[in-house]
Structure 1
Amino acid sequence: MKKKIEERIRKLVSDLQERQDKEGSWHFCFENSVLTDAYMIILLCSLETGDEELVGRLVGRLWKLQTREGTWKLFEDEEEGNLSSTVEACFALTYSGLVEEGDKRLIKAKQFIEKKGGFHKAHSMTKFMLAIHGQYEWKHLLPVPIELLLLPKSSPLSFWDFSSYGRGHIAPLMLLKDRGYSFKSPRTPDIQHLSRAPEEIGYSSREIALLKKINEGLQSLPDIPAHLHQQAQQFALHYMLQRIESDGTYLSYFTTTFYMIYALLSLGYEKSDPIIVKAVDGVKKMACETKKGTHIQNSPSTVWDTALISHSLQEAGVDVGGGTVRESVDFIMKKQQFKYGDWAVESGVTPGGWGFSISNSFHPDVDDTTAALRAVTYSAAKKPFVREAWERGTEWVLAMQNRDGGWPAFEKNKTKDILTSFPLDGAEAAAIDPSTPDLTGRTLEFLGGSAGLTQEHPGVEKAVRWLNRMQNEDGSWYGRWGVCYIYGTWSAITGMRAAGVPSTDRSLQRAKSWLEDIQQRDGGWGESCYSDQKKTYIPLPFSTVSQTAWALEALIHLEDKPTPAIDLGITALLGMLDGAGDALSCTYPTGIGLPGQFYVHYHSYQSLWPLLTLSLYQKKYVEGRTS
């Protein structure tokens, strides 16, 4: 097995080196749900941009992703199909003008939608898209006055209490709802017959309590209603315009840019306005090629992938001074952010973080920042200017720690739980930005493993205590940004070990037992996206490459010598990399954007995580090194 490990490491290194581009970065596809492909078709067709060739390619991919039952899914083991995805694909295909009304594939999709009760049962984002195009009544959406945007930060609740991701979507959506905007043309399809909208919409007691708090805040605003209304519209407009990146996209996301474009149209902007033209051009550049055709990424993962790959290559022994690593570090250094963004309101620290996408210049996040810092750590020891950037980034990470001891994704202390009742599907995950075990564990792994901090540091000690409190009864931890309990448990174990928690610690031993208990018969690990929705571990009938690599790395950090579970797992991982596993082992989505709605297959993950794990196995068990 030692020889096989060495050969596989060499191959993974060679393959990754060959894929590096001239800038020093890596461009792997960030493959998400059909939402972005469908919405791109709708956007291009409604604006009549003349991009028929691109529309045709996107239509072709949608057909290839349709199931035999006529549905579209978020992940392969999803039962029957996903209503929202099927509605989105169905509307887009009809809008494209490339599909006959009597196409049997389209008929099957519509039958599924009707069987599920119509599209009024779809996700809020889907219904917003349909309302924009005259297919759904605005009165059934978001019963919150736009004046919410004006509530001061000192109010019990304000727009600024939402997560940055939440604010990015809420601003255009509230503007669209307020305007009651409908964009219809002779080309717009009519699928209203597929909906049976309810006479009344019922709200939970928590939603009612939230709406009451918002209304109480609005009563305190010192101005006449007409002026407030106009000010709120202007606020929404300026909020979006001030957060447009150099490529024309709004916050570097496809979905936010999509809704911004229609919000601008609702205010009287022309389709030919330079802001809209550049925004459309920006999202067109988010295209990537998959085996089934052209796909529109919601947020290209170039910075994330480059940082992770550079680090994995260095851990595999690639020379830090050589071209591959040097060029990747140069690229990463250029992407450090020096603009003050919304995050600065709470953190009070100078800029120094990194973002996810190549165009992201003022919307950094903790996970990308620690990934970038890991990748430049060795270079920082030799180059003063890299060291200065590294110290600045580390200071930024430490300043982002939440009050409870954990780390958020984008902004600290956005944790008002009542906002999870905001009347939008997915608000429980997107409205706030709480500490999560995966982000906290990965941050600890950097602080302990790369920055050399121990539990003597108050921030590290507080984070370890927080992780101990968050451990589930079965020994696992929940992962918010990866699927799901395997991801969270791997993050927590590696973070706590890097912080100096001994492998004999009771929490870590419980986590080890849990990982060993869920090991698949083939020796690997595989977890369903359903875990994320049902908030309990749901196994897959097969193992996946990335989840197997995560579980193995966690176990290796806990064991001085290889155990049967580890060796069996390594054998399974090597087999999957040789193509011996299930066809979905390398393609099943193991990343999460929005729980229950948005899952990601990172094309880079089938290379970088196995490389990191195999390199760790070789260093620790074959070469006898601990670092």
Structure 2
Amino acid sequence: MNTVNKINEKLKEMISTLLSKQSDNGAWNFCFEGSIMTDAYMIILIRTLEITDEEVLVKDLVERIKSRQSPNGAWKVYPDEDKGNLSATIEGYFSLLYSGYVGEEASYMRKTERFIRDNGGLAKSDWLTKMMLALTGQIKWPSIIKNIPIEIMLLPRWSPITIYQLVGYARAHWIPILICSNLNKLFVAPQTPNISHLQERLMDSENDRILEEMQNLQLYFKHALKKLSKSPEILKKEAFIKAENYIIERIEENGTIYSYFSASFFMVFAFLALGYDANHPLIRNAFRGMKSYLCRNAEQPFIQNSPSTVWDTALLTAALQQAGVSYRHSSIMTANNYLLSRQHQKYGDWAVNNPDVIPGGWGFSDINTFVPDIDDTTAALRAITPLTQTNILYKEAWNKGVEWILSMQNDDGGWSAFEKNMDNYLLSLIPFKYEDRVLFDPSTADLTGRTLYFLGEYTTIPLESEIFQTAKEWFERNQEANGSWYGRWGNCYIYGTWAAITGLKAIGVSNDDPIISRAVKWLLSVQNEDGGWGESCASDIKKRYIPLPHSTPSQTAWALDALISASDNPTSKIEVGIHALLNILEANDGRSNYPTGAGIPGGYYIHYHSYKYIWPLQAFSHYKNKYDL
């Protein structure tokens, strides 16, 4: 069977499988699978709230956490992580003890304790893990957190430093944490495990070093607060009220904040710190919403941090149409109707830096109504485009979405994920790990590239427009010396380079332009011996390309898609890559489960269960359609 026939067979098989998996409402509900963090935090939350009728869930999560443990007692956040991940290991260890179904005397738990000690103890964990440990009484509140006053909530938006200079998902986590730290609250019950003996390093000496680095920021806080001309007591009271209202105003219909499990976890503790009873409706609704993120469409149930329903549905709907499924097909019509119903009508925090623009974006999750992002919006717009010629509702929705996308271009020419011009590096004085990628929302190659791809392929914006020229200049400034680009929300250089090449080609950049030829040369240089591509999550941490010893379907599809866009004719390297992708999909082994989505650098990576369908479907379709095969 020749290559084209094999592709046709695989496309037919994938289309049939996908149509059979579609929900009645038109959406696709694939799992969004991350590390054990969410499973561990759910156990901790159930025990903290003293919920007694969730033992089946607790036992299921205990089994899932245990199954992910490495032989050395550690847990990892990606399979090839060296030795293990300290924060994940602490979370796994503490939650298993807190469950009551595992004791510290178990041989595998003794290995875990030894790993924690050997790698620096609780003091060396990442910041979110430290916050969980402080809340549950395992460590003192770190001084760096204690020294960020709750009064930061009162600094006006025109101030050089405000809470709004953190990106929205960071605010959703840190405001609840600041409530708890400023109230010096911790939640210890008789059944709470005590692992404080694993601290290993003196927290105070570590804090003193960090506080030295924060002195300028602390001086600014004190100076700014003096200008507010109210007594310290009144300011503090007003700040707590503002922080509480900020949280409540951003609770989604399902009870979660921003639709994130992890942020909702800290939100519940903030409510408890403010004096809410554990049975308060806000806390009970939050728990129900967080429990609804349980995914059972896998070998073992696990808690998703933020279900990817809109993202998966938009990408699949667009990819199926590229594969030849008519927009008039009932499945596509139902999917697009679902997407239309999920376009945002509310103003969110994105409007702080981008006022006077009508809402028109889409969010990541099914229940997300006011945290739109650029990626989901361009994906949804691509999906509904064919309907805009005949249906006024889709045309109006499409126009609003395009206007919103255009309004969100940053001053530097690129696009961020969530908010506009979110790169105030004064707040990088807060010495958090990977703060440039966690606290802020700068322009990235993946967002900018996919936005250009949509605008170039699906709109009539002139190729010579300033929109496109400033974006190309952003890419020129941010291309790595080896020709690649870093991708923020996927792993990692393959991801960023794919988005950049396909975006630049969509706005008419020539294959001979050095920005394209250098990128293509780099992609070919990292092609594996099996013909595919595979990149480790370690690239995200070390900020340089780290290969995997095997190829993955999504990364192979990304690389192929980029090469196809920059090749007028199919090349031998593309042909080898196509066969490699077909072979990986046919094997359907562990290579398809490698996490190629990125969340928190070094802390949270995602195995999208949809990706083994979406990206190969798109790459195969582009191969066939471009070369008229």
Report the TM-score when normalising by structure 1: 0.97
Query: Alpha-carbon deviation of 1:344?
Result: 1.2
**How do residues 267-282 of structure 1 correspond to structure 2 at under 5 angstroms?**
267-282=274-289
Check whether the contact 1:46–1:187 (CA below 8 A) recurs between aligned residues.
Answer: no
**Corresponding residue for 1:44?**
46
- Runs of 4+ in structure 1 over 6 Å off: none
Gaps of 5+ in 1: none
Question: Does residue 193 in structure 1 map to residue 197 in structure 2?
Answer: yes
**Corresponding residue for 1:19?**
21
More displaced 10-residue stretch of structure 1: 437-446 or 217-226: 217-226
2:119 aligns with one of 116, 119, 135: 116
Amino acid at match of 1:161: Q
SS in 1 for 2:301: strand
More displaced 10-residue stretch of structure 1: 223-232 or 282-291: 282-291
1:489 aligns with one of 488, 493, 497: 497
Question: Does residue 182 in structure 1 map to residue 191 in structure 2?
Answer: no
Q: Give the Cα separation in 2 of the matches to 1:531 and 1:423.
A: 22
Query: Alpha-carbon deviation of 1:292?
Result: 4.0
CA RMSD, Structure 1 to Structure 2 (Å) = 1.3
1:125 aligns with one of 128, 134, 138: 128
Check whether the contact 2:144–2:210 (CA below 8 A) recurs between aligned residues.
Answer: no
Number of aligned residue pairs? 621
Amino acid at match of 2:322: E
**Corresponding residue for 1:96?**
99
Q: Give the Cα separation in 2 of the matches to 1:343 and 1:469.
A: 26
**Corresponding residue for 2:616?**
610
**Corresponding residue for 1:328?**
335
Query: Alpha-carbon deviation of 1:139?
Result: 4.3
Check whether the contact 1:301–1:357 (CA below 8 A) recurs between aligned residues.
Answer: yes
**Corresponding residue for 2:138?**
135
1:619 aligns with one of 617, 621, 625: 625
Check whether the contact 1:544–1:588 (CA below 8 A) recurs between aligned residues.
Answer: yes
SS in 2 for 1:601: strand
Q: Give the Cα separation in 1 of the matches to 2:299 and 2:264.
A: 25
CA change 1:507–1:597 in 2 (3 A) is same
Amino acid at match of 2:176: P
**Corresponding residue for 2:436?**
428
SS in 1 for 2:353: helix
**Corresponding residue for 1:464?**
472
Q: Give the Cα separation in 2 of the matches to 1:508 and 1:213.
A: 45
Question: Does residue 210 in structure 1 map to residue 213 in structure 2?
Answer: no
Q: Give the Cα separation in 2 of the matches to 1:327 and 1:27.
A: 14
Amino acid at match of 1:360: N
Q: Give the Cα separation in 2 of the matches to 1:99 and 1:291.
A: 24
Q: Give the Cα separation in 1 of the matches to 2:428 and 2:472.
A: 26
2:522 aligns with one of 473, 495, 514: 514
Amino acid at match of 2:172: G
**How do residues 275-294 of structure 1 correspond to structure 2 at under 5 angstroms?**
275-289=282-296, 291-294=298-301
**Corresponding residue for 1:525?**
533
Check whether the contact 2:143–2:211 (CA below 8 A) recurs between aligned residues.
Answer: no
Question: Does residue 596 in structure 1 map to residue 594 in structure 2?
Answer: no
Question: Does residue 543 in structure 1 map to residue 551 in structure 2?
Answer: yes
1:59 aligns with one of 59, 62, 71: 62
Query: Alpha-carbon deviation of 1:204?
Result: 7.3
Q: Give the Cα separation in 2 of the matches to 1:243 and 1:280.
A: 16
Q: Give the Cα separation in 2 of the matches to 1:237 and 1:621.
A: 57
Query: Alpha-carbon deviation of 1:138?
Result: 1.1
Report the TM-score when normalising by structure 2: 0.97
SS in 1 for 2:40: helix
Q: Give the Cα separation in 1 of the matches to 2:433 and 2:261.
A: 18
More displaced 10-residue stretch of structure 1: 133-142 or 83-92: 133-142
Q: Give the Cα separation in 2 of the matches to 1:212 and 1:525.
A: 49
CA change 1:179–1:426 in 2 (3 A) is farther
Check whether the contact 1:305–1:604 (CA below 8 A) recurs between aligned residues.
Answer: yes
SS in 1 for 2:598: strand
Q: Give the Cα separation in 2 of the matches to 1:146 and 1:505.
A: 51
**Corresponding residue for 1:5?**
7
What do the CA deviations read for 1:138-194 (whole angstroms, capped 9, x no partner)?
A: 144412111111111111111111111111111101001001111111111111111
**Corresponding residue for 1:315?**
322
Query: Alpha-carbon deviation of 1:355?
Result: 0.3
Gaps of 5+ in 2: none
Query: Alpha-carbon deviation of 1:560?
Result: 1.2
1:155 aligns with one of 153, 159, 184: 159
Query: Alpha-carbon deviation of 1:467?
Result: 1.1
Check whether the contact 1:2–1:622 (CA below 8 A) recurs between aligned residues.
Answer: no
Q: Give the Cα separation in 2 of the matches to 1:42 and 1:267.
A: 19
Q: Give the Cα separation in 2 of the matches to 1:275 and 1:604.
A: 32
Check whether the contact 1:454–1:500 (CA below 8 A) recurs between aligned residues.
Answer: no
Q: Give the Cα separation in 2 of the matches to 1:452 and 1:247.
A: 39
Q: Give the Cα separation in 2 of the matches to 1:199 and 1:22.
A: 56
Query: Alpha-carbon deviation of 1:290?
Result: 5.5
Q: Give the Cα separation in 1 of the matches to 2:144 and 2:55.
A: 32
Q: Give the Cα separation in 2 of the matches to 1:359 and 1:339.
A: 13
Q: Give the Cα separation in 2 of the matches to 1:522 and 1:570.
A: 11
2:396 aligns with one of 388, 412, 416: 388
